[in-house]
A and B are shown apart, each in its own frame.
Chain A
Amino acid sequence: MSGVQAEWPLYEIFVRGKRGLNHVHVGSLHAADDEMALRHARDVYTRRNEGVSIWAVRADAVAASSPDEKDPLFAPAGDKVYRHPTFYAIPDDVPHM
């Protein structure tokens, strides 16, 4: 091994709650490797009985859109109200809409 790195890489942490249907981004942390990232995530982000599942992703592996592209990416959807399923009745027993 050549040299010692002073900083551990950054990970983004996603937790699925007991009632949650999908993993939700809860924050980030530093860890030396994937396994340590999961352990740290357990310690830092599930202390209050929140989680049943954790995903940890190296922050440098996340592809993110740039704020500069905000208008071309998102503005065109702003006036397409007909894309929402609001023009017909939804039965009461259909959850998670």
Chain B
Amino acid sequence: MPHVHDHDADHESVYDGLTGGDDSQWAFGTDFEDPLAGVDTTIAQGVDASALAAYCLMLGDDALVYSHRLAQWTSNAPDLEDDIALANIALDLLGQARLLLARAAAADPAVVPALPDGSPVPPEDALAFFRDEAGFRNVRLVEPDNGDFAVTMARLLVFSTYRLALLERLRDSNDPVLAAIATKGVKEVAYHRDYAGRWFLTLARGTEESRRRLLAGLALVWPLYDELFRTHHVEAAAADQGFGVDPSGLADEVGVVLEQVLTTSGVERPEIAQTGAVNGQTGRGGRHTEVMGRLLAEMQVVARAHPMGLW
């Protein structure tokens, strides 16, 4: 059972020991940094708070849903080292998701689902665990089942190349919190892209079997590629108001980076029909793929069973 209401002092003290006071007792470094330390959290003039919240949900949901997918590799990866590497990547993205969902809730509390009076669930958790499928704003690329390791590496390469290009520009956001989250995220996602790129090359130039699986994986991932660069009206507003990035402007840069990896790997860019919009909507509009419902059910079931729980 989760704790209800009472703050567990012992649990908190674990982190107190690591984040503050005298840490000379620890053999290795502990000076963890708060990425938002000293950041002004007021919303800039000329920024529409509800558009800011909607935009934060988009970037936050990309990270949250993909983090959940990657975390499903835990204890199942081909070897211990890559098991931990994938868990690290999932955790990096989860950290980005937490900050972005918290920013969405702070900008416009109306986006946060209502919970019973007195529930200790923080707004970022309410957004993650108590929103229904149509409320999620992630691109559909992050939803499908992991498939094998080659599919996972193909998807991670595409996603991290896209997200790195996006975060690099988002560092110039006029929203100080988004700029700080992007600054932290660029270092993390640069490593994710490097990790995926190395594996992509290794699998492409490895054995006949690894290459066969990689090509099949890339073909599976590719139909959701174009959607990454489709501009939703919230993203257009975000770019206009100076706090966000218009994804259509990222297509060239992402294409060039992927072309380099593909060429080095001796792989042709796939010519595959793209998954279209459904009634004019894609992931950013709350239209998701068939597997999204099952993914959310698994991710949310425990939190939803305990709306008064403290974790």
Which A residues form the contact surface with B (CB < 8 A)? 4, 8, 15, 17-20, 29-32, 35-36, 39-40, 43-44, 47-52
The answer to whether B34 has its CB under 8 Å from any CB of chain A is no
Please pick, from A35, A43, A48, the residue contacting B28 in the complex, using a CB distance under 8 A: A48
Q: Mask for B211-255, Cβ within 8 A of A = 1, else 0?
A: 000000000000000000000000000000000000000000000
Bound CA span A17–B31, Å: 12
Is B195 within 8 A of A39, CB to CB? yes
Known: A39-B195, A39-B198. A29 touches B27 (CB 8 A): no
Is B28 within 8 A of A20, CB to CB? yes
Query: What B residues does A4 contact at CB under 8 A?
Result: 207
The answer to whether B50 has its CB under 8 Å from any CB of chain A is no
**Which of B40-48, B80-88, B102-110, B295-303 participates in binding chain A?**
B80-88
Query: What B residues does A52 contact at CB under 8 A?
Result: 29
Is B79 within 8 A of A30, CB to CB? yes
Bound CA span A43–B84, Å: 6
Query: What A residues does B81 contact at CB under 8 A?
Result: 29-31, 40, 43-44
Is A18 within 8 A of B31, CB to CB? yes
Q: Which of B54-86 contact A (CB under 8 A)?
A: 79-82, 84-85
Is B29 within 8 A of A51, CB to CB? yes
Q: Which of B83-124 contact A (CB under 8 A)?
A: 84-85, 88
